[in-house]
Structure 1
Amino acid sequence: MATINKFFKHTFLGITGIVSSLLFISKYKNKPKRLQIPPFFSKPAPYFFAHIGGNHHVPGNTKLAFHHANKHKVDGFDIILRITKDHHFIVFNDIDLDASTNGSGKVSEHTLAELQTLDAGYHYVDINGNKPFVGHPDAKLQTLEELLQAFPDKRFIIHIKDNENDPEGLPVPELLLDIIKKYQAEYRVLVTSEHVKQLERFKVISEGHIALGASQGEILEAFVKYRFGASNLFEARSHAFQMPIEIQGIKITSPKFIYWLIERNIVPGFIHINNLDLIDDLIVLGVHTIITDRPDLVDRYKQSNY
């Protein structure tokens, strides 16, 4: 969330100026064409995704987390990929291992075999201040391939985290597409990234057959143009927005903005939704995708509404 807010802070004023200068021509431009909705969204809404498998009750990114979330009937997982020294994909948030494992250094400096020996429950502290998962046999990091095999009926939102300007990040789009094809998962993955060039490269090589999530820049561009009355100047490049509840203190959960996205066949989703009442409110507004750190809330919602 801090990364998102920092990005918005540094770019908001620049885009606002551009939009303001173009306002006078907005009303003369035809509305952009609707995007074609990809098969990823073929099931009835709402979709519920466990962010990194959920980290409220168990350490995230671990076998423990994904199997715990699966018990709560989530539709899929929101995961972040890091590439290893020997070009495998590990599901992990940070560039470094130190904060959430007993390892140290960059993920990209270690082989897959080395990473799979780490204790990913080492630093996890529960709500009582205890460390119940230190040394747990399932507090292990997972690979993308392991998850695709273990959960063949689940959908995945996949974040490319490695930068194309770094040597380890350069081959990521091609390697990712190879794995998706290997497991015939084209229709159950959505690929996104904060690195626009990585996302563009993946879009080109996948020939538009795989659902794409918007970068932070695209989300900001859309919101600013909507807010300043230049809606017709926005041309969507991605199928779905995974958004924070607010941008620079401005809530973006207004019914009008959500409807504006839906009109363009842009699938609206919100991240880090960890309150049952808020889940209810967003779904009533037409939000399609809920990404939560608490998969237990999914069970509670479904018991009350299905």
Structure 2
Amino acid sequence: MGKKTKVALAIAAASAAAWAGSKAISKPQKRESKEALQFERPIIIAQHGGAALAPAHSRLAFEQASKHNVDGFAVSVRLTKDEEIIAFHDATVDHITNGAGAVKDLTLEELQQLNIGYYFETIDGTRPYEEETVSVVTLRELFEAYPDKLFIVSIQDSPDTYEGSLMPSKLWRLIEELDIQYQILVTSPYSEQIDRFNLYAQNRIALGAGEGDIKKAMTAFTSQFGHLYHPKVDLFVLPLKSGVFNYDSPRFVKFLEDLNIPTIYSNIDDLMAMNRLLRQGAMGIITNRPDIAALIEETN
């Protein structure tokens, strides 16, 4: 037996021993179920209120989606200059309205004077809201208007900005004031924002995975050390694919399910894809087309 072969076998033996040792001392820890995520059937969540049917995050969009009996809404939030939480995804209003500027530099009153439906096109290509004002809506207004819906609230302001530093505490105070912990899930592209929010919530609110959390879970799943993964969130909102990772894997869904973490897939606007993902074990889908989602097979 050559020297290289002996070294390779020694490394393999050491790796196997490390795996066996870690398996013996580390047991997967399931997350406790959160009240907000207790559903007996697949759920349909309208993305930004149903952004293909009406201007994203407008009152019109939420009203349209409600007509299709969605179970809830995925809402991005940002903080205005006067520290109001509004439903809005982008950092600036430039490409959505006929106004200009950053959300953080405009007051709620200034933002409400802008038409966020100016560039909106319907499915048939028309632009019906150019000549009227479709205003931004506050998160408080949405919470009060839809007390029977699940809200997946995504903090968009970066943690290293002034407005981002304020958002976790302000969001928690709003939820606490309205006493709606049972219908809220908080997430963010920034895992740090989720951690900051949970300093106030203390695990009383369902938490969604940030981008870093999702990649960490997938890395653990594809390695031999999935048993070392200990989740700190309650729901994974997943794209079908991101970079080199394909997330629409029934085995990945099962991996998370075994940890008591359901999955929801985002931006799914095709009926066949909706049905396929639900059959594979997803808890639900987030869609810009709640009208299409209303046709999902009853057998799911």
Q: TM-score, normalised by structure 1?
A: 0.88
* Corresponding residue to 1:142 among 137, 141, 151: 137
- Per the alignment, residue 12 of structure 2 pairs with none
Of the two, which has the highest radius of gyration?
A: 2
1:198 pairs with 2:179:
no
Equivalent runs, 1:11-22 vs 2, <5 Å: none
1:103, distance to aligned residue in structure 2 (A): 1.7
- How many residues align? The count is 285
**Matches for 1:1-306 after TM superposition, within 5 Å:** 26-137=22-133, 139-301=134-296, 304-305=298-299
Q: Identity of aligned pairs, percent?
A: 34
Q: Distance in 1 between matches of 2:144 and 2:201?
A: 21
Indicate the larger mover: 30-39 or 211-220. Answer: 30-39
Residue type of the alignment partner of 1:101: T
3-state DSSP of counterpart to 2:152: strand
> Shift in Å at residue 102 of structure 1?
1.5
CA distance, structure 1, for counterparts of residue 245 and residue 215 of structure 2: 12
CA distance in 2 between partners of 1:226 and 1:194 (Å): 21
Task: Determine if contact 2:190/2:212 at 8 Å carries over to the other structure.
Answer: no
What TM-score does the superposition give when structure 2 sets the normalisation length? 0.90
8 A contact 1:86–1:111 mirrored in 2 = yes
Measure the CA separation in 1 of the matches of 2:163 and 2:38: 34
- Structure 1 residue runs of 4 or more that deviate by more than 3 Å after TM superposition: 22-29
Stretch moving more, 224-233 or 153-162: 224-233
Q: How far 1:23 moved relative to its partner?
A: 5.5
SS of the residue corresponding to residue 124 of structure 1 reads coil
Does the aligned pair in 2 maintain the 1:26–1:231 contact within 8 Å?
no
Matched letter for residue 52 of structure 1: H
Shift, 1:169, TM fit: 1.7
Give the Cα separation in 1 of the matches to 2:123 and 2:155: 31
Shift of residue 26, structure 1, vs aligned partner: 4.3
Render the CA deviation track for 1:198-249: whole Å, top value 9, x for unaligned.
2111111111100000111011010111112210111101000001112325
Residues 19-60 of structure 1, C-alpha deviations (whole Å, 9 max, x = no match): 9xx767543443221110100012323121101011212211
Which consecutive unaligned segments of at least 5 residues does structure 1 have?
Answer: 1-18
Give me the CA root mean square deviation.
1.9
CA contact (8 A) 1:29 1:232 kept: no
**Structure 1 residues 202 and 290: CA distance shift in structure 2, 3 A:** same
What is the distance in 1 between the residues matched to 2:143 and 2:282? Answer: 26
Query: Does 1 or 2 have the higher relative contact order (CA < 8 Å, sep 6+)?
Result: 1
List alignment gaps of at least 5 residues for structure 2.
1-14
Inter-partner Cα distance in structure 2 for 1:260 and 1:111: 45
Corresponding residue SS for 1:156 = strand
SS at match of 1:170: helix
Partner of 2:131: helix, strand, or coil? coil
- Report the 3-state secondary structure (helix = DSSP H, G, I; strand = E; otherwise coil) of the residue aligned with 2:164: coil
Compute the displacement of 1:170 (Å): 1.2
